[in-house]
Amino acid sequence: MDRRAEITQYYKELDRAYFMEFYKEQAHKDTPFPIGYGQTISQPSLVLEMTILLDLKRESRVLEIGTGSGYQTALLAKAVERVYTVERVEELYLKAKERLNQAGYTNIEFKLADAKLGWPEKGPFDRIMVTAAPPILPQPLLDQLANGGKMVIPVGEGYGQDLLLVTKDYKGRIRQGVVAKVSFVPLRDS
């Protein structure tokens, strides 16, 4: 099975309702839903596309910015050996941690912090998945991306942002390209 098919399979195995607080009966709909604290669980088809775009290898060390419900975290954790996820809202951090631990995931490390700063002690990361939008690319995240690494990140102000695929080559050179127009909640300033 190729990697795309494999990740699609993991995605199908996930019960999205498990990660939702409200509207559980509508979990099958391909739209974002509120999870409290002004935050949302992302649109599932976008979670899948972004995960495929990240080009995960089984051995990739992945940093996720914005744990939220933990839904994207779960998909990443099925696909790779180790996931590091950072969330700034304590209630969401605690709930996601409990949910994922209860579901049996043992390869996720959680941190309560402002994720704009990444997770320097655990970097560099082979892959970085950002699920809240900063106005510009945060330098700490670029610094924590390993050579040969890839980052998927929505960047921009207001409701519409550019989804960027950022790559760092083996010499440390950064390239970025716009892959889609998206609408994420803002990556907040602490």
| Residues identified as active-site | 42
How far is the CA of 53 from the CAs of 67, 114, 128, 179, in angstroms?
A: 19, 25, 11, 9
The nearest distance, CB 169 to ligand SAH, in angstroms, is 27
- Which one of 6, 49, 55, 114 is in contact with ligand SAH (CB under 6 A)? 114
Per-residue binding string, ligand SAH, 78-107, x by CB under 6 A, is: --------xxxx--x---------------
Tokens representing 152? 């998927």
Q: Tell me whether residue 2 or residue 121 sits nearer to ligand SAH (CB atom).
A: 121
Tell me whether residue 32 is exposed, middle or buried, using C-beta atoms within 10 angstroms of its C-beta: 0 to 12, 13 to 18, 19 or more: middle
Q: Is 188 in the site for ligand SAH (CB under 6 A)?
A: yes
How far apart (Å, rounded) are the C-alpha atoms in residues 107 and 130? 19
Choose, by CB under 6 A, the member of 14, 16, 33, 41 that binds ligand SAH.
41
What's the distance, CA 151 to chain centroid? 10
Q: Which is nearer to ligand SAH, 80 or 86 (CB)?
A: 86
Radius of gyration for the alpha carbons in the chain, expressed in angstroms and rounded = 15
* Closest by CA position to 127, among listed 143, 104, 150: 150
Q: Is 110 in the site for ligand SAH (CB under 6 A)?
A: no
Is residue 68 a contact point for ligand SAH (CB under 6 A)? yes
Which residues have CB under 8 Å from 46's CB, separation 6+?
Answer: 182
Which region among 1-9, 98-106, 108-116, 148-156 touches ligand SAH (by CB under 6 A)? 108-116
Binding-site ranges for ligand SAH (CB under 6 A):
39-42, 66, 68-69, 71-72, 86-89, 92, 114-116, 131-132, 185, 187-188
